[in-house]
Amino acid sequence: MRDFLYCLIFPNASNNHRAKFLHFRVLSVVIAFLIVGSFFFSSDFNPFASRLKAIADISTQELLMFTNEKRAENGLPVLVRDEQLEEAANMKADDMFAKNYWAHNSPDGTTPWVFIKAAGYEYIYAGENLARGFSDSKDVVNAWMASPEHKKNLLSENFRDVGFAVKTGRLNGEDTFLVVQEFGNKTAVPVAVNTDVEGREEGKVLALNLDQVTPRPANSMSFNFIIILILGLIAVFFADMLVIRRKNIMRFVGHNADHIIFLMAILILISVLSSGYVL
């Protein structure tokens, strides 16, 4: 076993002075596994397609709890769950999946306020936060808090009510979790003292945000698996390079340093691809 591992990682006479892990056959098997696995485990082919729902730890109850936790930390009164805003959030999420868009306004120009009014909530103040691709309620709220505009909504003294929707579906060809948070207040009086509402129009949007915050990597087993695989490969390329340089062996192979730099770039890009977003 020790010999096998040594042969797998370090170049020596038994593996033709090239770490076995870097042999074409082994690399081809890894590539084939990843490509075949991509299709086999996807929801199109996987009989356990509902796994997305099962592995997510996002609930409207938790979202409300973490939202109110942040408000309490900032000395603000807690938001009250409102059924009409919840209905509006669900309508918004359904509309996004049906029309396949990721924005506050739909491609046909429907604003979030249309859904809030359609649910029967006659607001004076309203706001909306969106998130997708997260797998944990706390991560969603933390991502909103990390974005100034979303934070403004979350900690606004002008909102009294809140409604959430957490839905799974396909957006831009990708299975994803969508989180919609609708804020509202039916009264013109802000819920906290020392408020400054000057310059804000009644019955209009408050801090509707179109900026995107820095993506955060999703915490999943697949992501960890790929990270470990690539880091392992980088380590083997590095070990191979050092041993060959030390032994001064001549071989016709590519530059390991090139592959290490390229794989590091891929690591960064995979973190971006597996991230969640807020809007």
Q: Which helix (H) or strand (E) holds 247?
A: helix 221-247
Alpha carbons 134 and 57: distance in angstroms, whole number: 9
Closest CA to 140 of 55, 60, 54: 60
Alpha carbons 15 and 259: distance in angstroms, whole number: 20
231 scored as a contact of another protein (CB under 8 A):
no
187 scored as a contact of another protein (CB under 8 A):
no
Residue in 173, 193, 196, 248 binding another protein, rule: CB under 8 A: 173
266 scored as a contact of another protein (CB under 8 A):
yes
Our measurement of the distance from residue 101's CA atom to the centroid of its chain's CA atoms, rounded to an integer in Å, reads: 16
Q: From the CB of 37, what's the least distance to another protein, in Å?
A: 6
Beta strands 80-81 and 161-171 are parallel
Tokens 């009264």 sit at which residue? Answer: 187
202 scored as a contact of another protein (CB under 8 A):
no
Stretch of 31-39, 107-115, 160-168, 241-249 lying at the interface with another protein (CB under 8 A): 31-39
274 scored as a contact of another protein (CB under 8 A):
yes
Closest CA to 212 of 130, 146, 277: 277
CA angle 93, 178, 131 (to 5 degrees): 110
235 scored as a contact of another protein (CB under 8 A):
no
**Total binding residues for another protein by CB under 8 A?**
55
CA dihedral 140, 145, 146, 147 (to 10 degrees): 100
Give the burial class of 177: count Cβ atoms within 10 A of its Cβ; 0-12 exposed, 13-18 middle, 19 or more buried.
buried
102 scored as a contact of another protein (CB under 8 A):
yes
Nearer to another protein, 7 or 263 (CB): 263
97 scored as a contact of another protein (CB under 8 A):
no
Stretch of 77-85, 86-94, 136-144, 269-277 lying at the interface with another protein (CB under 8 A): 269-277
CA angle 63, 167, 278 (to 5 degrees): 60
Half-sphere exposure of 122 (CA within 13 A, CB side): 2
Kindly identify the residues of this chain, within the stretch 108-167, that bind another protein according to CB under 8 A: 132
Nearer to another protein, 229 or 239 (CB): 229
192 scored as a contact of another protein (CB under 8 A):
no
Q: From the CB of 83, what's the least distance to another protein, in Å?
A: 30
Our measurement of the distance from residue 88's CA atom to the centroid of its chain's CA atoms, rounded to an integer in Å, reads: 23
Residue in 1, 3, 48, 194 binding another protein, rule: CB under 8 A: 48
Tokens 């604003």 sit at which residue? Answer: 111
170 scored as a contact of another protein (CB under 8 A):
no
Stretch of 28-36, 62-70, 115-123, 142-150 lying at the interface with another protein (CB under 8 A): 28-36
Residue in 41, 75, 98, 231 binding another protein, rule: CB under 8 A: 41
Closest CA to 176 of 249, 82, 274: 274
Interacting residues toward another protein by CB under 8 A:
24, 27-28, 30-31, 34-35, 37-39, 41-43, 46, 48, 51-52, 55, 102, 132, 172-175, 212, 215, 220-223, 225-226, 229-230, 233, 252-255, 257-259, 261-263, 265-266, 268-270, 272-275, 277
